[in-house]
Amino acid sequence: MSEILVLVEQVEGEVKKVTLELLTLARSLGTPAAVWAGPGITPGAKDRLAEYGAETIYVAGSSDIVDHVVAPKAELLAQLVAAKSPAAVLVAATAEGKEVAGRLAVKTDSGVITDAVGLGEGFVADQSIFGGGVNVHSRVRRGTPIVAVRPNSTAPEPAQGAGAEEEVTVALTDAAKAARVVERVKQEKGARPELTEAAIVVSGGRGVGSAENFSVIEGLADALGAAVGASRAATDAGWYPHQFQVGQTGKTVSPQLYIAAGISGAIQHRAGMQTAKTIVAINKDPEAPIFELADYGVVGDLHQVVPQLTEEVTKRK
Ligand SMILES: Cc1cc2nc3c(=O)[nH]c(=O)nc-3n(C[C@H](O)[C@H](O)[C@H](O)COP(=O)(O)OP(=O)(O)OC[C@H]3O[C@@H](n4cnc5c(N)ncnc54)[C@H](O)[C@@H]3O)c2cc1C
């Protein structure tokens, strides 16, 4: 089977979950090969990539790759596409991943699909557009399919691969080195999972009522090991930071479980969570549009329902 390149997302040597998802997806379509861009690969990282099916791990360990913004990763992948003729290239549909995908498509004269939520036989990708109102099946017809897949679209499943390491030397052009990274500032990380990566997201909306009341949402999130999200009404009111806003002008999440509490389900909110595998809505208005989308709905006051839910979840732990 042909090789499928998967660009590894990692932080300080730790492989991100989305990469394990992409390797799992790649396994169903060909032979997965991980591409490590930059220095700092650890034995633990190699084991993890192999554990999820990487037959080969291409390691381009030059610090030049990470000392410059995005373009070197696209050049590295373009070089590998030319040398290895893979069947496809998968990247995470993060802001950086999508930029890499676009640049790679230009360099290799290939088609690109972004924000895929599934990828099947013949590299037919599923996309959910217009706020989730329309599902699109698309396929690249030119060059090597380059597909940016949304985090949480596939459940990661281990299946041991050989993990054979192959060193790659990349000859970067001056153009790729045009923008240099001069400083990296570490964002304070809380105990909760990152919103776009979390398998479970608990979001609160205007129905939460105040910034203080968001502790109800946080309580359930912590009981479930989930990330906290918010509607724009809640972030605009200053009840929760904007970085946690889910929707068209916020983050796109695609968790296994999305719990929306006190959120009406406006199209702009749906755009950011519509592809969640299971949606649970808690709303006191039985006519709230979110119920059209929800797999399970609870009609009630979230201030009563959510604490009871938290208690039940905690009891079962
Ligand atoms: C260009 C544009 C971009 C936008 N981008 C986004 C975006 O990225 N994300 C986003 O979320 N919105 C976005 N919006 C705003 C969007 O249109 C809605 O206004 C917003 O999503 C509403 O948030 P909400 O559901 O929390 O509030 P509301 O629509 O006011 O709904 C609150 C809900 O809470 C329920 N409720 C009230 N009290 C309780 C209670 N005690 N218990 C249970 N339920 C209760 C109510 O019945 C109601 O259904 C955008 C709008 C525009 C025009």
Is the confidence at residue 247, as pLDDT, over 80? yes
Domain boundary assignment for the chain = 3-177, 200-316
What is the average pLDDT across 219-227? 97
The chain-wide mean pLDDT, for the chain, equals 95
Instruction: Check pocket membership of 288 for ligand 1, CB cut-off 6 A.
Output: yes
% of the chain residues with pLDDT over 90: 85
Q: Which residues are CB-neighbours of 227 under 8 A, at least 6 positions away?
A: 192, 193, 194, 195, 197, 198, 200, 201, 202, 221, 253, 255
Encode pLDDT of 7-46 as tens digits: 999 998 999 999 999 999 999 999 999 999 999 999 999 9
CATH class of 3-177: alpha beta
CATH class of 200-316: alpha beta
Q: Which of 232, 251, 274, 283 to mutate to test the pocket of ligand 1 (most atoms within 8 A of CB)?
A: 232
Instruction: Check pocket membership of 266 for ligand 1, CB cut-off 6 A.
Output: yes
Q: How far is CA 242 from the centre of its chain?
A: 18
Residue 316 or residue 133, greater confidence: 316
Q: Does the fold of domain 200-316 match that of domain 3-177?
A: yes
Encode pLDDT of 90-147 as tens digits: 999 988 999 999 999 999 999 999 999 999 999 999 998 776 678 899 999 999 999 9
Determine the atom of ligand 1 nearest the C-alpha atom of 265. Answer: 25
Is the confidence at residue 73, as pLDDT, over 80? yes
Instruction: Check pocket membership of 268 for ligand 1, CB cut-off 6 A.
Output: yes
